[in-house]
Amino acid sequence: MRLNGGVKRSANASRVLLRKVLGVTAAAVLSFTASGSLAQSADGTVQTDGQIEVGAEAVRDSEILNRIEKLLAQIDGFAAVDVSVSEGVVRITGQVIDNAAQDRLNQIINRVEGVVAIENETEISGTLEERLAPAMERIAARTRNLLANGPIFLVALTAFLVVAAGGWLLTTRIGIWTRRNRPI
């Protein structure tokens, strides 16, 4: 009787703990969503490794801007990024999906000839839909891949079951592995 009461108290304590954990988690989620967005910005100027050209050899700002805009138009995830160039210093504003996109943006622009420094003032988008879209696309692609490879999985499973059933029959029903005591 006493053991049963202890089990009930333990179960009640577990439920109380679970409720507290769920309450704290819910409060954290609500506080993040209530703030409107989870935008973060990249602060600071990134110095490039390129040479600073002067005179007639210097790349014009318009050429740098055109090259960067053409590059970003070809890459997914940078549609909401605005670029301006002044004296080889590239200023980037707008929104990107995550920190990796900010770093990738810096790397791309750093490789453009004539860029002296990069002022990355982009913000990380805080909308859940935008952040989950790439993951959902990957899940959908993997599901399509799994379905496309489904027939070969079924063939392999069938072959396995045939071999397993054959082995079971040989060892249990036919009895080829049993010893018989024959007098010599």
- Considering the domain boundaries, does residue 113 fall inside one? yes
Structure tokens at 98: 């995550």
Query: What is the rounded distance in angstroms from the CA atom of residue 183 to the CA atom of residue 161?
Result: 39
- Considering the domain boundaries, does residue 40 fall inside one? no
Residue 88 burial (C-beta neighbours within 10 Å; 0-12, 13-18, 19+): buried
Q: pLDDT exceeding 90 applies to what percent of the chain?
A: 36
- Considering the domain boundaries, does residue 179 fall inside one? no
Residues 109 and 71 in one domain: yes
Alpha-carbon dihedral angle through residues 96, 99, 104, 107, given to the nearest 10 degrees: 120
Name the domain count of the chain.
Answer: 3
Structural domain harbouring 54: 45-126
- Considering the domain boundaries, does residue 31 fall inside one? yes
Residues 59 and 25 in one domain: no
Residues 92 and 113 in one domain: yes
Residues 169 and 97 in one domain: no
- Considering the domain boundaries, does residue 24 fall inside one? yes
Query: What is the rounded distance in angstroms from the CA atom of residue 109 to the CA atom of residue 87?
Result: 15
Mean pLDDT within 89-101: 89
pTM above 0.85, yes or no: no
Residues 114 and 94 in one domain: yes
pLDDT bracket for residue 99 (50, 70, 90): confident
With b for 16 or more beta-carbon neighbours within 10 A and e for fewer, the 114-142 pattern comes to bbbbbbbebbbbbeeebeeeeeeeeeeee
Mean pLDDT within 20-41: 55
Residues 120 and 87 in one domain: yes
Is residue 104 scored above 60 in pLDDT? yes
Q: What pLDDT is recorded for position 39?
A: 46
Tell me how far the alpha carbon of residue 164 is from its chain's centroid: 40
Please report, for the domain that includes residue 75, its CATH number: 3.30.1340.30
Q: What pLDDT is recorded for position 38?
A: 45
- pLDDT digits over 114-131, tens only? 898 999 999 888 677 777
Residues 122 and 146 in one domain: no
65 or 127: which carries more pLDDT confidence?
Answer: 65
Number of other residues whose CB lies within 10 A of the CB of residue 162:
10
pLDDT bracket for residue 98 (50, 70, 90): confident
